[in-house]
Structures are given as structure tokens and as C-alpha cells.
Amino acid sequence: MSWLPRNFSRKSVWIVGFLVSVSITLLLIGLAAPTLRYLQETSGDWVWRAKAAAQSTEPESRLILVDIDEKSLQELGPWPWPRERIAKLIRTLGEQGASLQMFDIVFAEPRPGDAELAKAIRVHQPIFSEILALETPLSQSVGQLQGALPWPNCAKPFQSASAYLANSPSLQVQAGHITPRLEVDGVLRHQPAIICFGDQAYPSLSLRSVMALSGEQTLRLERGSLMQADWVLTSPKLLTSPIPLNAQGDIRFPWSYANAQFISVSAVDVLSGRHPKQMFTNKLVLVGSSAFGLNDAITTPLAPLAAGMQAHAEMMLGLLDNTIPYTPRFDLYYQIGLVILGLVILVALGKSPRANYLIPLAGVISAIVCWLTFAYFLWQHQWWLSWIYPAIFLVIASFIFGLLEHARSRIDRDRLFEHLSSYLPSAVATSLTMQSPSDAIRAKNQLAVVMFADIRNFSSYCENRPPEESAAVLHAFFSSMTRIVEKHGGVIESFEGDAVIAVWADEGAIANPAYLQQTIVAANALIDAAQTFLPDPAPADLEPLALGIGIELGSVLAGSFGLAKRRTHLVLGPTVTVASCLVDMTAELSHPILIGESLAHALKGVSLQPMGVFLLEGLKQSHQIYAYPLSRDNSAIV
């Protein structure tokens, strides 16, 4: 984690993480906006499928579908049917009590029988369809557009068409367009509420049908409030509340009804009287086709292949029930709120010791919660809220925060290890970082060379000199001791007052005479170094400071002792005691380096001077002591 500064704090994690997350999110939105929009739309499809499945057992009886299906074409002949037959269908539906007839069909070409059809139209006032070319331009306009709103002009946000396919001029009809707005995946999710042509405004079939039911002749376009969509269509006589439109003037389809919920009857059964006589009384009737040859198939969120009239049925019921989904104008504030709430949760988790694991997990959970919130508001309140952008930001932020928090924790851990290893041997510090605190003894026996080094007369020196001078001498001693011991393969075990304990305990090398000789080389280097950090000459009236070193080979017990909340690391055993006593003997025998008999017997090729057998203080058995002779320049004789 060297790419982060060592003073990288938790506050820095959140500031840097937030800025990086915002940058990555904006970059992703810029590069993959169509893909993200597709994910938003398809996630709504899941809600529609779930909602339709939840109420699939409840039939929708207010609207009846009259289907020009394969059966009708087989019995009555191919399409187009004679205009007299269409007139008969209109009369039959009207006579049987249909409150409104809607035709998802365009009768563009003049044909024989138009007069009879026109007569049926005048009596029963059905709503016919017309198509205005937007994404798929027509080569030329056919028929005559009818049913324009009495507006002085067609204002924004509505789009203008380049051509149209309308009904024959001989048929004076109320009409509404059936132009779809297909998504890039071919699924029908929106329909323009109004399309402009020649500065005239033409409403959709469903919108025109709602107006016909209420007797309304016009609509008013207004900007929506904070709780409404970008635009709304209003009128005092409409059966529904204001109709929500998006920024492009489109209405979103409410795909709330499964295909099985619609009551459908074949057109041939209606014309031949093979249907219940009262089924159309006070019902809305939508005439369309599901026959394969008539090319009126669409893809919906509920089915990959459905009849086009199903879309108009869904829209009509949505307008009547005021269940048109829309994006309220507070959507941006909603997204900001989700982001703030998610960041608060991530910051709270950042205080956990497992933050680098919990934060990414929380980011993924936050994304799921964003979608569940979206699904709830769409299902219950018809609010189409943007969830994909907050979710992506929170996921990105959580992983960035988690990565930075992990890096910061690694920095803290490394810093802590450096501090710990400055007080303890590195191997011990490493072991402790991998263990939980414990009240138990954690120690093991091992064969080691123990070196005990002590500054003689240092207590008297401290008593008579300023503390700063004493500290400087001690600091220089500890620093030199550490460098020299580690250079020659040893480990500093502890600092005890003005004494230092070092060990050589490499299990793979302890039997190697060359490895053991490094203890003698290190001792000799320490004597040389003492000339640089011990005051010379000694201050007036004080005994001169001198360094004494005792070295012995043997078994030691090394480990941690004490309560879990306050422990210490020690090296214990007779070998340590012998090394300590040898230091005390250096003054009596006038040799700065004394060696115990076990180490002396193990050394090969080192010339040692026997000093005799002594009963060391505190011990019951006598020990042979050896001195290490120094050369004139105090270099090692090995």
C-alpha cells in the first residue's frame, strides 16, 4: 500500500473516496447511458410481471376485446373485410349496449360500402385509429387526419410527424393515433400522448376515448408540480386526474394486467350471434386483431409477442383508474436522498473493525434496497423513480471506500507492527499480530546463545549528570547494540535499564560453529563501538564507564507472560542467569568479554583464554569461565 501516504486518515478515506466515486459514476453514466437506461427500464418490467401475476386471477370486465383472430378470418374470409361487415359489427356492438367502441384499425382506402359504414359511424360514434410517422417515416400521407384538438398550435414538448396513415375522408370519424414509441430492445413502454402535424395536435386513441366518455372537447397542457410529472394534461370534465407526461410528452404504459385477465371474444362470434347477448352492456369495447397475417403484434414487458390492441387496453384502463406511472419532478431529490442515506450507512460502518469487508457488502445491499424502494413506489403509487444511478454510485463508492479503508487499515497495521517490533523481536511482534490477547503463558524452550551487555558504573553516572546526558548515552548504546547484533544474525530480546539481552536462536544454524562465531564478532564490534558512545575521559570524580559482555549457550524459555491486558516478553532460564553473572565478573577479571563453558566448547577455531572455575552469584554449581582476548586494535581474533 505504498501508493498511499502514511498519514492517510479515515477522514481522508471518505473525502478521497467520495470524489473518486463521483468521478467514476459520472464517467460511467456518460459512457454507458443507454445501457443504464435499459437496465432501469427492464427492472421495471420485473415489477409489471410481478404485479400482473399477483392479480392474474381477477378478470377485467369493464373492457371487452373483440378479436379479428384466425378463426374469424377462416370463417369470414381474409382481411380486409367488406365495409358493410364492419358497419354490421359496429351496429351489433352498439345495439347490445356498448358504451364506447374503439377500433385499433385504420380504414385508409375508399371502398364500396363506405356510405353504410359512415351511417353506422354517425349513429354509434366509434373511435377509429390513425398513424403518424415518427421514428419510422411513411413514404407519403394517406387518408385524412381527423380529431385534432382545438389548440391554436401544437406546442412543445410534443414531436412533429413527417407523414400519416389516416382514415378515408368519406368516413367522418373521431380518431386517435396509435403510434408507438419503441425502445431499443423493441419493447413497447411509452406512447406519445399527442403528436403534431401541420401545427395541429392529435391525441392518442386512448386519450381520445377518455375524452369521448366524458364529453370533453379539449385539453390543457401545464407544467407539473413537484409531486407531478414534468407535464400534465388537465380538463375539468375528464374522468381521471391530470394525465402525467414525461419530458418528451409521452405517456408510460401501465402494464398491470396479464393477457388472461382480459375478456376476449372472436369477431365472427359477435357477427354470427354466438356470444352472450348481455356481455357488451355498458362495456368499453376495443376491436383489434391478433391474427398473424395482419401484422399487429408487439413486444411488451409481459410477453414477447402480444396483440397490439392489448397495449391500448392497458392504457385505457390506466387512464380510467389513474394508474399511469410517471416520474415525479422530485425524482432528483429522491436520488440525492438515497445517496446521502447510503453514505451515512457506509460512514457508520467505517467505524467497525471489519469496515473493509462490511462496506462493500453494504454497498451491494444498498443497491438492492434502491431497487426494492423503486418497486414499492411503482407498485403502490405509480411513481417511476430513478434507482439505477444512486445504486451504481453506492456500489462504486462502497468498493472505493472499502479499498481505501483496507489500505488505511494496512497502513495502521504496518505502523502498529513497526512500533510493536521496535519494542519486541520481529518474530514475536509478527506472532502477536496474528493472535488474540490471552491470559495464558505462551512460551517455548529452545537452544540459544544469550548475550548480556551492561554499562558498568552507569548508575553513578546517572546520579551525578543531567538526565539528558544519561539518556543520550543510553540511546547511543541501545542503537549501536541493535545495529551490531542484527548485522551479525542476532535478535535484541529486551532492554533492561542500562543492560541489553540479545539472543542467537536460529534452529537451523545453532549447531553451526560459523553461526556461533558471529556472537563473538558481534561482541568485539560492540567493544569497538563503545568508544564512540561512552564518555572518554569520564567526568570529574566519576568512575569511567565501561561495557561488559557475557555470552553463554544453552536452553532458554522465551515467551509472553502476564494478563491479557498487560503482558511482557521475557527470556528465562539458567543460560540467561549465567550470561548476566558473567557480565558482573568482567570487572573482577578485567576482561570486557567473558564466555561460558557451554559456548566455549561449541566454538571451533576461536582462541579463548581460560580464566578458571568460579561459583557465580546465585548459582549452586561452579562454572568454567573463558575470556575472549582482544587484539591491539580490538579486532576479532577468529
H-helix or E-strand containing 570?
A: strand 566-572
What does pLDDT average to over the chain?
85
- Residue 473: what pLDDT? 84
Q: Does the structure show a pLDDT above 90 at 330?
A: yes
Residues 376, 382: Cα–Cα separation, whole Å: 9
Residues 604, 404: Cα–Cα separation, whole Å: 55
Eight-class DSSP state of 204: B
Q: In what order do the strands lie in the sheet with 250-252?
A: 181-182, 188-192, 250-252
Cell 414525461 found at: 246
Per CATH, domain 426-627 is 3.40.640.10: no
Q: How many residues in the chain?
A: 638
Give residue-wise pLDDT tens across range 112-164: 999 999 999 999 999 999 999 887 667 788 999 998 999 999 888 999 998 99
What pairs with residue 223 in β-bridges? 231
Worst-scoring range by mean pLDDT, 87-96, 203-212, 307-316, 554-563?
A: 554-563
Give residue-wise pLDDT tens across range 556-602: 887 677 676 667 667 888 888 888 889 888 888 888 999 999 888 88
Q: Does the structure show a pLDDT above 90 at 464?
A: no
Give percent of the chain above pLDDT 90: 43
Eight-class DSSP state of 603: -
- Residue 380: what pLDDT? 92
Band of the pLDDT at 638, cuts 50, 70, 90?
very low
Q: Does the structure show a pLDDT above 90 at 63?
A: yes
Residues 338, 393: Cα–Cα separation, whole Å: 10
Worst-scoring range by mean pLDDT, 6-20, 238-252, 508-522?
A: 6-20
Q: What are phi and psi of 132, to 5 degrees?
A: -115, 130
The stretch 497-516 carries a mean pLDDT of 86
Eight-class DSSP state of 620: S
Band of the pLDDT at 634, cuts 50, 70, 90?
very low
Reported pTM: 0.71
Residues 206, 251: Cα–Cα separation, whole Å: 11
H-helix or E-strand containing 372?
A: helix 355-381
- Residue 632: what pLDDT? 44
- Residue 278: what pLDDT? 87
Give residue-wise pLDDT tens across range 25-51: 999 999 999 999 999 999 999 999 998
Neighbours of 70 (CB within 10 A): 15
For the chain, give every domain's residue range: 10-44+337-420, 59-321, 426-627
- Residue 205: what pLDDT? 95
Q: Does the structure show a pLDDT above 90 at 65?
A: yes
Q: Does the structure show a pLDDT above 90 at 335?
A: yes
Amino acid at 131: I
Neighbours of 635 (CB within 10 A): 12
Give the alpha-carbon dihedral of 441, 445, 449, 455, to 10 degrees: 20
The stretch 258-282 carries a mean pLDDT of 90
- Residue 12: what pLDDT? 74
